[in-house]
Amino acid sequence: MTKYIDAQRDRYGVEPICRVLQFASATYYAATKRPASSRSIRDDAIKVAIRRVWEEHRRVYGADKVWAQLNREGIRVARCTVERLMRDLGIRGVVRGKTVRTTFGDDAAARPADLVDRQFHAPAPNRLWVADLTYVKTHSGWVYVAFIVDVFSRYVVGWQASRSLRTDLALDALEMALWSRRGERLDGLVHHSDRGVQYVDIRYTERLAEAEAAPSVGSRGDSYDNALAESFNGLYKAELVHRRSWTGLNDVEYETLGYVDWFNHRRLHGEIGMVPPAEFEAAHYHQSLPAAMAVSQ
């Protein structure tokens, strides 16, 4: 009540407002002179931290991730408090929408077997990668973006943007992925995609063979066959693409570069324990190193 009166007092005056609301003006004056409660003071401080976290993470975090990030920083606060204060601040996380197919299968072409069977789990990095394409509508026409994601950590290992859906788009993303994992063992790696012609192209499958990676292609031809890659595309569209208009290929490339860096190194991911993908991989290697040393001794 006092907040409403504060907002309208300059226009209507305190007494007339209180008279219409049947609210004693003396009560209002007493409330405004009362010192702020300890809860109110703490709420104001937490609001500053909440807005900072929300701004630093591209304004896409909802209450869960804001709460997790605050706790990572040592700011202890209940999740329900974060939700309440975000509501007071008028801020919220992004909401994902539907995705549209950008790859189309060639039923006449031979394709590899489905080695994943919708089981998107991996015991370590470089055991299972998923690949897919998505699109961005720009003022100068459609731009297509290919991504490759490591299932273990959700780390984006490769990506590429192009004005064309030719095989070179997917192949360039694969080359980036192989380069980013240079020096790491890739034997035993499974590369999974949908039945898009870009991924069953002979040049693509030959490059996978050179890298000693086993190709895998969804057998039933719907989004569930490549659900993890589709999920990443949904995040990319909700957290970056749908939040602004695009001029053309150049600004899509530039902003995607920043998004992928943030996604890999700073964005908290609920599927891996509310830590960034790079941190999750680093923790895995840190735990694996003592065991490997013990075996070698």
pLDDT higher than 80, residue 39 = yes
Residue with tokens 């950008």: 102
pLDDT higher than 90, residue 10 = no
Average the pLDDT over each of 52-66, 190-204, 258-272 and give the range with the smallest value: 190-204
The pLDDT tens digits for 167-220 are: 899 999 999 999 999 999 898 999 999 988 899 899 999 999 999 999 999 876
Pairwise pLDDT comparison (111 vs 185), residue with the higher score = 185
Q: What is the pLDDT of residue 293?
A: 46
CB-based contact 178:158 (threshold 8 Å): yes
Average the pLDDT over each of 108-117, 191-200, 268-277 and give the range with the smallest value: 108-117
Task: Report the sign of the C-alpha dihedral through residues 234, 267, 278, 80, in that order.
Answer: negative
Pairwise pLDDT comparison (290 vs 156), residue with the higher score = 156
User: Which residue, 162, 166, 119, is CA-closest to 256?
Assistant: 162
Question: Within 13 A of 152's CA, how many CA atoms are on the CB side?
Answer: 19
Q: pTM (2 decimals)?
A: 0.82
User: What percent of the chain lies above the pLDDT cut of 90?
Assistant: 68
The pLDDT tens digits for 147-157 are: 999 999 999 99
CB-based contact 215:208 (threshold 8 Å): yes
Residues 6+ apart with CB under 8 A from 276: 264, 265, 266, 267, 268, 269
The distance between the two most distant Cα atoms of the chain, rounded to a whole number of Å, is: 85
User: Which residue, 244, 268, 279, 275, is CA-closest to 62?
Assistant: 268
Distance CA 82, CA 199 (A): 44
Q: What is the DSSP code (8-state) at residue 196? A: B
What is the average pLDDT score of the chain? 89
How is residue 211 written in tokens? 């890298």
